[in-house]
Amino acid sequence: MSDSRPIGIFDSGVGGLTVVAKMQEILPKENLVYFGDTARVPYGTKSKETVTKFSVENVEFLMEHNVKLVIVACNTASSLSLDFLKRCFKVPIIGVIEPGAREAASVTRNDRIGVIGTHATVSSGAYEKAIKKINPRYSVFTQACPLFVPLVEEGWVDKAVTDSVAQIYLKPLKRRSVDTLILGCTHYPILRGVLRKNMGQGVILIDSAREVAREAREILDASGLLNGSGSKGKYKFFVSDEPNRFIRIGEQFLKKRINCVKRAV
């Protein structure tokens, strides 16, 4: 069996392109439709009700493109809205929390795991619950890093101010001697160099993008929905505002040209 329908991915902005990059590696034949809600980023400062409303609208947009599976690439939306989305829509929907938790649990050496994310993701306790479900003995330490998303959206990856902000945010986690750090927002992997510098080489940085792509492959394979035709998938990118800005910053995530981004109407 073969199913050429696309996979839908949404995020609050450009951060979900880290998932797209891993999908290119692990599911290169799959067609993708990406929606970045750039008009309403960031999600991490908003209420559960508002994030859920936005998330439902985002999935409805993707469903208009006849997607066969939806990936909620936004950690905030995954932590606050995933269960509701699964009840509302018939297509398989996967988030980024549990895959990231599983990977962190599999690599930690001292059972001390740090999590950085938006205020909403950290306050939800979603990562702690997922990690403790795997092993109650693990110690989990969290830190909200609300300024990271606007810094990434602005393209200020290599600025001194970004390094200064990272030093302040990460200091409490360094004191806790975590050996594994979950990047609990899809925007954060682009700051990997800054995070590595401030946490030290001995700390393993976890972004859930690879595990999410693997989970998508497993679900599609088990359901007979993999795309077996063609050699390379086709991608469509949509945003709710400022396509040109999305292209400029998005190319840093994918490390390749983005030829066309359309504004969703």
Closest by CA to 43, choosing from 88, 73, 21, is 73
Q: Which two tokens stand for residue 12?
A: 């609050």
Using the structure block, give the residue that is written with the tokens 């063609």. Answer: 230
29: number of Cβ within 10 Å? 14
Residue 185 appears among annotated catalytic residues: yes
Interatomic CA distance for residues 205 and 98, integer angstroms? 16
Q: Which amino acid is at 236?
A: K
DSSP, residue by residue, 80-96 = HHHHHHHHH-SS-EE-S
**Residue 237: beta bridge partners?**
34, 261
Beta-carbon contacts of 158 under 8 Å, excluding residues fewer than 6 positions away, are 193
Interaxial angle between packed helices 126-134 and 75-88, expressed in degrees from 0 to 180 and rounded to the nearest 10: 80
Active site residues: 74, 185
